[in-house]
Structure 1
Amino acid sequence: MATVEHCLYCFEALDAHLDDRKPMTLAEVYKSWAEYLRSADADADAEEGGADTADGTKLSKRLPALRRITEASASSSTSSSASNSTLSLGADTPATSAASSSAALPDADPEPPLTESPLFVTWNTVSARHGGHALRGCIGTFEAQDLDEGLSSYALISALQDTRFRPIAARELPSLEVAVTLLTDFEDAADAMDWDLGTHGLRISFHYHGKRYGATYLPDVAVEQGWTKEETLVSLMRKAGWVGRKDKWDEVQLSVVRYQGKKESLGYEDFKRWRDWVEGTGK
């Protein structure tokens, strides 16, 4: 399962690129985030009510939620099995996205976090007025990536090279949210309907008028859009470039691979708060 640290690392990669500085490694982010949580807990205990964050929220109130996300994500990741036209395994693939067990006992030896996985990185613009999300970039790969290299690479690729959008600029960072989805459990579907809404992402391929088409949707897309399974398939075929009649979609022979994936997301404010702490402490 994706974690808060994975999201921080993606923001770190993009922020460092735009600021022309050397980014932290994923291992450094993991270590720093743990130290940050401990430090913030101590600060909250020292000040009645906790310190105010930039948006007026008490830090002591935000930390439990962030900590639960971190612990749940880390616990889940240890048990996880590890496009506009043609798609093949390992191809850089634009996708569309809007956006566990309890922590180990204190004296248990936790397994190391997941180190490689197929992945997608999604950037969304968050409306300050309404809180709505608008897709700003999303690209990933079905080929397992070393997370240290893969997350940083696809954070930049999805932010700067998604041809559906202009490259993200530094001035946009405060309005952004990043989501990381790690993909698991790839299976050939028995037919076009052999998958479950809210559980499976889809990767389809098909031939139409002598050309091969393909596209993918992440597991959360159909539910976020409120689509039925049929509507999801038609939309995915349209995304791939199919221009046939909507009521004739089931006459096209689809090859469908279903997969699963749990995403984690993080807004810029939480990244900036952590990043300011890093710079202030020299970590």
Structure 2
Amino acid sequence: MATIEHCLYCFEALSASLEKRTPMTLYQVQTSWAAYPKGLDEEDEEEQPELESSDSSPPSDNESGKPSSSLPVPRNPTLERLSGPSSGTSTPASSSSSSLTPSTNNTTPSSSSASFVPIGLHPRRSSQRSSNITESPLFVTWNTVSSNQKSLRGCIGTFEPQPLNSGLSSYALTSALQDHRFSPIRLSELPSLEVSVTLLTDFETARDAMDWELGVHGVRISFYARNKRYGACYLPDVAPEQGWDKEETIVSLMRKAGWGGRREKWSEVGDLKVVRFQGAAESVGWEEYRAWREWVEKGEEKAK
């Protein structure tokens, strides 16, 4: 599964490229994030009442290194808004999608925009997922976040397994700078961005166009029409975010691929093949990336 570290690494690759500096490696990002003081997260908050109600429990150190107190801790509204890892499946009404690109045989999604509930600033969090994956098919999605809107800014991925240390940085830059539907992302845009990483797993050939589960599977289709083969795909979170049923999802995919037939005729195209797959996304916004990066820079300065 994708992790916070994977997202930070994508931000690092793009930021370093635009700033003309050498980026950190994935290993350096992972090692740094493990040492980064993250403060309280949801799990700590849930355990807090037990600590507060126990008069006999001795003070213990929390993750930030500060002794905990037996006195009641004021509630932090920011903590109460925290909804866990920001991902394509847990952020309300976020949107991402993808389709095959003729020039590279990779996949890119169509442009989309949807309202969502921003979680705002939140405590620095520990990674909610551990991952020993070193190679995987993947997608990197960039979104512009402003007010109550999240808009697609670029997304390119591949179904071929990629070493994560090179694949994530490569597709982070490709999706940010070479998605033909958008102008290249500029340095001044970084503070408005969010990055989402999806590692794809469990590819299976479906029996038919309906042999997949909403909210679980992403779908990749290919078919013939007018002596031409078409293809497109959606990541697992797209259909639920758009409120589509299975048929609406397939028809939308066919439209994205370039099919212009009548909707009721969708099942009559030739050699319709469907591959289903899974993949949980993880997302990180600029503020979280920048806070971590400033901590790294301070450490580098002290080491000099």
Q: What is the TM-score normalised by the length of structure 1?
A: 0.79
The change in CA–CA distance for 1:18 and 1:86 in structure 2 (over 3 A counts) is closer
Q: Deviations over 1:3-40 (max 9, x none)?
A: 00000000000000000000000000000001113699
Q: CA deviation at 1:204?
A: 0.6
Q: Secondary structure at the match of 1:16?
A: helix
Contact 2:101 2:108 in 1 (8 A): no
Name the counterpart of 2:292: 274
Whichever structure has more helix as a proportion of its residues is 1
| 1:137–1:47 distance in 2 versus 1, CA, 3 Å | farther
Cα deviation per residue 1:189-211 (whole Å; 9 max; x = unaligned)? 00011001111101111111011
Equivalent-residue separation in structure 2 for 1:164 and 1:179 (angstroms): 18
Q: Which amino acid aligns with 1:95?
A: P
Q: Match for residue 108 of structure 2? A: 94
Alignment partner, residue 37 of structure 2: 37
Larger Rg: 2
Q: Which residue of 2 is the match for residue 117 of structure 1?
A: 136
Task: Give the letter for the 2:35 counterpart.
Answer: E
Question: What does residue 258 of structure 1 align with?
Answer: 276
- Where in structure 2 are there 5+ consecutive unaligned residues? 41-61, 70-75, 87-98, 117-126
Counterpart of 1:179?
Answer: 196
SS of 2:10's equivalent? helix
- Relative to structure 1, is the Cα distance of residues 162 and 103 closer, same or farther in structure 2, using a 3 angstrom cutoff? closer
1:91, CA displacement in angstroms? 2.8
Secondary structure of 1:125's aligned partner: strand
> How has the CA–CA distance of structure 1 residues 46 and 172 changed in structure 2, closer, same or farther, with 3 Å as cutoff?
farther
- Superposed displacement of residue 251, structure 1: 1.0
For 1:156, which of 152, 173, 176 is the aligned residue?
A: 173
Structure 2 CA distance for partners of 1:44 and 1:166, relative to 1, 3 Å: farther
For the pair 1:227 / 2:270, whether they are aligned, the reply is: no
Whole-Å Cα distance in 1 between the matches of residues 77 and 19 of structure 2?
A: 28
CA spacing shift, 1:269–1:85, aligned 2, 3 Å = closer
Q: In the superposition, relative to structure 1, how do residues 139 and 57 fare at CA in structure 2: closer, same or farther (>3 Å)?
A: farther
CA deviation map 1:225-278 (0-9, x unaligned): 111111101110011010111111111131100000010001100000000001
Output the aligned Cα RMSD. 3.0
Q: Which amino acid aligns with 1:149?
A: S
Rounded to whole Å, the distance in 2 between the matches of 1:6 and 1:212 is 34
8 Å contact from structure 2 (residues 217, 235) kept in 1: yes
Q: Percent of aligned pairs with the same residue?
A: 60
8 Å Cα contact 1:85-1:214 kept in structure 2: no
Question: Is contact 1:201-1:220 (8 Å) kept?
Answer: yes
Question: Does the 8 A contact of 2:236 with 2:279 survive in 1?
Answer: yes
Hey, what's the Cα distance between the residues in 1 that align with 2:245 and 2:256? 16
Q: Secondary structure at the match of 1:136?
A: strand
Counterpart residue type for residue 261 of structure 2: G
* Match runs of 1:1-283 below 5 Å: 1-37=1-37, 43=64, 45=66, 61=79, 69=85, 83-84=99-100, 91-95=105-109, 113-127=132-146, 129-130=147-148, 132-253=149-270, 254-282=272-300
Aligned residues: 247
